[in-house]
Amino acid sequence: MRPPNLSGFWDLREETGYQPPSFEKPYQTMMVSGTPKEGLNGELIFRAAREKRRETLSELMSKPLPIRELTLIRRADGDAATEFTNLDRLVADLAEQPPVPAEERFRQARVMVTANNLADLDALFEECEEAHEDVHFPSMLDEFGRSLLMIACQQGFKRVAKFLLRKHFDINAANYAGNTPLHFAFEYSHQDLAQYLIDHGANKTAVNAEGCTPYEGLTQKKVSEV
C-alpha cells in the first residue's frame, strides 16, 4: 500500500489560533558603584562589606580590596521585582549585623601600613568616612603608643606617611617613650623621609624619655657609641 502524498504540514496555530506560552522572564539591570572581584558573588560580598561594614566578611579574605564597579541582575515583570534573589537575601542578612568595632578598624589599618598597602588603606579610610563610623585614626595608638604615622616612619614608607599627614595625623606626636615620627625616621636611617618631615613642620629639637633628639635616635646607647 502506497503512503498518502502530503503536500505540506498542518499548523495547529493556523487552524485554532493557539499561541504557545512564552516562558522567558524579562530582566532589569541595576548598576551599583564598585570593582569586579572574582565573579558576581565575590563582588556582592565585597560591596556588602563596604556598604554594611561587616566584620564577618572581612574574615573571608586575607585583606580588604577596593571596589569600583558592580552589576546586580534582578528578575522582574515590568518594573516590579518578582523574585527575592539570593543576592538580595545576602545583603538583607548583612544589614542585621553590627558594625565593625573601632579597634578592629585600627588593626586592619595597622596591617595595611606595615605592608605598605596604600591602596587598601585609602579604601579603608574612605569606607569609614562614607559610613560615618565612629573611628578617629589619628588619635588611635598601638600597645607601644605608636600612631599609624609613627609606624609608617619607622618602616620608611614615605607615600603612606604623606597620605596620613593629609589625614591630619600629628607630625610631632610622641609615643610612650617620647619618640616622634622624626625619631623613628632617623633611627632607622630613612633620611629622605626625615627631611620631608622636617620640611613639613617636624620638631628637630624634640627630646624623648632617654634625653635624645631625633638626630641622636631612640636611646643614649647609640649616642655613646658615636
> Which pLDDT belongs to residue 130?
86
> Which pLDDT belongs to residue 76?
42
> Which pLDDT belongs to residue 89?
59
> Which pLDDT belongs to residue 99?
80
Q: How far is CA 214 from CA 36, 179, 201, in A?
A: 45, 8, 13
> Which pLDDT belongs to residue 207?
96
User: pLDDT tens for residues 10-63?
Assistant: 555 555 666 666 655 554 444 444 444 445 555 555 565 555 544 544 454 444
Q: How far is CA 87 from CA 3, 35, 83, 215, in A?
A: 59, 17, 11, 57
> Which pLDDT belongs to residue 37?
44
Q: Compute φ and ψ for 33, nearest 5 degrees.
A: -65, 130
Question: What is this structure's pTM?
Answer: 0.58
User: pLDDT tens for residues 132-173?
Assistant: 888 999 999 999 999 999 999 999 999 999 999 999 999 999
Domain range list for the chain: 27-95, 102-225
> Which pLDDT belongs to residue 220?
75
User: pLDDT tens for residues 89-105?
Assistant: 556 565 556 788 999 99
Among candidate residues 147, 139, 148, 137, the one with its CA nearest the CA of residue 115: 148
CATH of domain 102-225: 1.25.40.20
User: pLDDT tens for residues 190-212?
Assistant: 999 999 999 999 999 999 999 99
Contact 147, 138 (CB under 8 A): yes
Residue 50 or residue 123, greater confidence: 123
Per-residue b/e over 205-225, b at no fewer than 16 CB within 10 Å?
ebebebebbbebbbbeeeeee
Among candidate residues 124, 121, 128, 129, the one with its CA nearest the CA of residue 157: 121
Pairing relationship of beta strands 69-77 and 80-81 according to DSSP bridges: antiparallel
> Which pLDDT belongs to residue 70?
36
Q: How far is CA 212 from CA 44, 50, 156, 179, in A?
A: 52, 44, 20, 9
